[in-house]
Each structure stands twice: as structure tokens, then as C-alpha cells.
Amino acid sequence: MPNIDLTLDQLWSYTPTETEPPDFDQFWSKTLDEARSEASSAGGGLEIDEPYIPLAGVQANKIWMTGLGNARVSGWYVRPQAGGPFPGLAHFHGYAGRGARPLDVYALAAQGVAVISIDCRGQGGDSPDIPAVDAGHHPGWLTRGLGDPATHYYRYVFSDAALAVEALAARDEVDASRIAVMGMSQGGGLALAAAALSRKASFVWSDMPFLSDFPRAVEITPRSPYTEVSTYLKRRPELAETAFRTLAYIDVANHARRISCPAKLSVGLWDDICPPSSAFAAYGRLGSTDKELIILPYHGHELTYELDERRFSEVLARLEVKPAL
């Protein structure tokens, strides 16, 4: 597969189109206030089921929390059995997937990290989809509620992600000053959004983030999910201005300005699902002074064992965890 985007020199100097709406912060503040109020009315925090699977030194549970619209959002909580306080990590999953399950995050929990993951609404886990809206959409989730940021699918999912981080930080056994967020693709975008919205993260690791720099990503990407938008607008061209106005509230290149904690992003220069320029857009706007962009020159939308190992070690170091021997 050839490089589908700009040259590396051009990527480093790339400046994305400015799309941030003037009421961006007010919109998200109101959204989170609404979500927190509903969660508080429902009892707040996490509803934790009985232990799910026996794992040496680790407690694993199915969990539930109240999300925006009083939805019952599902996920997993995997923590060391010792007394704590432990550092925490929120893990977010890829498009159409499901939350990381106990064996997926066992290695981190076994080293002394409390890990939460949630199922994005209507995708592969047990979280319900968003409420129906009075408009059509293309199959998938990018165009669900595209006519208004207040009804868009990712307004709900972003608020769920932020509340999951806040619920993790509020646990008695968790050290709220040591919270990492991470994910790949959609999960990478959610990690950035959760860090920006919750302001609880002390470290972000985002691999090949989705949901970034919509104007460019929709224009050049030949594969789903961004093509959900272009296909929909091919049928409804009169909605283009409205669609991109809505997506500006979701765009993690806009959220990235609100992230001040240390952050690492990765990008594959042959990625034809989340194009390299969209990752550079988010990276360039990070408010962090301690940041790094890891470039994989011959990779598409994929991770390597070596990168997994590097991320694991970096997360433990940033959370000040001494590996168990």
C-alpha cells in the first residue's frame, strides 16, 4: 500500500483547518453537567457485579454506570487484590468493538494498576445505543444525529468516556493523581477526548487516533469509517455545512488544546483508515509541553508487538509503578 497522504516534511508543517465553534467549551460543560447530574441522581459511581473470572492477584468485575440520557453503560473493572491506593487507567476500544475484558488488561492489573474499560454505545458490548433521532443516517455511527451536536452519537460516547475516568478517580482504592488514558483508533480518539473533558488524566497514550481533523480525513480517506460521512453527504449534499459544524464539536483536534498532561501519540504513515495528517493535526494542537509523536513509516492502521511493549512500559513508568517480580 502506498503512502496515501503528505510527505513527512509536509506532515510536520501541516496546519489543519480551524473549525472550533465559539461555544465549544460551553457546549461540553453543559453536556457534562447534565451527565453528572443524571449519574448522581442514579446513585453515582460504579455498580460492580460479582467477581467475573478468577485471576491470580487480581479482581475482575463486570461494571455498570449511568451515562448521559440515563443510559446503563456497561464495562469492566480489573484491579489488584491488594489494598491500594493504586494508579488507574481508562482503556477505550476501537470502532465497532467492545471494552477491553479482564484478560486483555490482566498484565497491567497484575503490575498494580486499576483498569476500567467501557463499551461504546450500540457497538460490540452491552451498552445501549443512543436515543433515536428524527433524521436518517448512513450505516455506522459517525452520521447518527449529524444534524445537531446535541443529538450526535459521540456527544453521548464522549461524555461516557469522561465519566468513566471520573468514576475511576473517585474510587477509594485509586490514587486520583495517577490516572492514565489510552486506546487505539476510536479508542485513541476517546482517550484524547476523555483527557480533555475530565481533566483527570496525568498521562495520555493515543494510537492512530480516529475522530480527528474531520475536514481533511473525510476528504482524503478511502476507507470506512470516515467514508460514512462522505457517502451520506453524497446523497444529502445540502447537509454538508450542518454536518461539519456538528463534527467540529466532536473533533479531537479541537479537544487536544485542552490537554496539558504528558501525551504520546502514534501514527502509521501508510494508514488509509485514520490518515497520518489527522494524527499530526491532533498532535500539533496538544496543550502538553511533554509530548511525543511515534512515527511508524511503513505501517497502516495496525499496531506492532514492539509498540505494545513500549506502551506497557511507558504507562507503568508514568504511573510510577514498580513492576512486580
Please tell me the predicted confidence (pLDDT) of residue 323. 63
Q: Phi, psi (5° rounding) for residue 66?
A: -90, 120
| Residue 110 covered by a domain | yes
Residue reference for cell 509541553: 289
* Residue pLDDT, tens place only, 231-272: 999 999 999 999 999 999 999 999 999 999 999 999 999 999
Please tell me the predicted confidence (pLDDT) of residue 1. 43
Please tell me the predicted confidence (pLDDT) of residue 88. 98
| Residue 250 covered by a domain | yes
Residue 9 falls in the annotated catalytic set: no
| Residue 218 covered by a domain | yes
Residue 271 falls in the annotated catalytic set: yes
| Residue 173 covered by a domain | yes
Set of cell numbers at residue 110: 497484575
| Residue 3 covered by a domain | no
pLDDT over 70, % of the chain: 98
Q: How far is it, in rounded angstroms, from Cα 127 to Cα 118?
A: 8
| Residue 262 covered by a domain | yes
Name the active-site residue from 138, 255, 299, 301: 301
Inform me whether the pLDDT recorded for 83 exceeds 90. no
Residue 301 falls in the annotated catalytic set: yes
* Residue pLDDT, tens place only, 103-117: 999 999 999 999 999
Name the active-site residue from 271, 277, 278, 299: 271
Q: How far is it, in rounded angstroms, from Cα 69 to Cα 297?
A: 42
Q: The CATH number of the domain where 237 resides is what?
A: 3.40.50.1820
Q: How far is it, in rounded angstroms, from Cα 322 to Cα 146?
A: 45
| Residue 166 covered by a domain | yes
* Residue pLDDT, tens place only, 72-82: 999 999 999 98
Residue reference for cell 496515501: 4
Please tell me the predicted confidence (pLDDT) of residue 2. 53
| Residue 33 covered by a domain | yes
Inform me whether the pLDDT recorded for 276 exceeds 50. yes
Q: What would the mean pLDDT of 26-35 be, rounded to a whole number?
A: 98
Q: ω before 85 within 30° of 0 (cis)?
A: yes
Please tell me the predicted confidence (pLDDT) of residue 308. 97
Q: Provide the number of structural domains found in the chain.
A: 1
Q: How far is it, in rounded angstroms, from Cα 315 to Cα 105?
A: 13
Q: How far is it, in rounded angstroms, from Cα 153 to Cα 120?
A: 10
Write down the H helix ranges in the chain. Answer: 8-12, 24-41, 102-110, 153-170, 186-198, 214-220, 227-235, 240-250, 252-255, 276-285, 305-318
* Residue pLDDT, tens place only, 128-161: 999 988 788 999 999 999 999 999 999 999 999 9
Q: Which domain holds residue 105?
A: 8-318
Name the active-site residue from 74, 117, 185, 277: 185
Q: ω before 2 within 30° of 0 (cis)?
A: no
* Residue pLDDT, tens place only, 160-210: 999 999 999 999 999 999 999 999 999 999 999 999 999 999 999 999 999
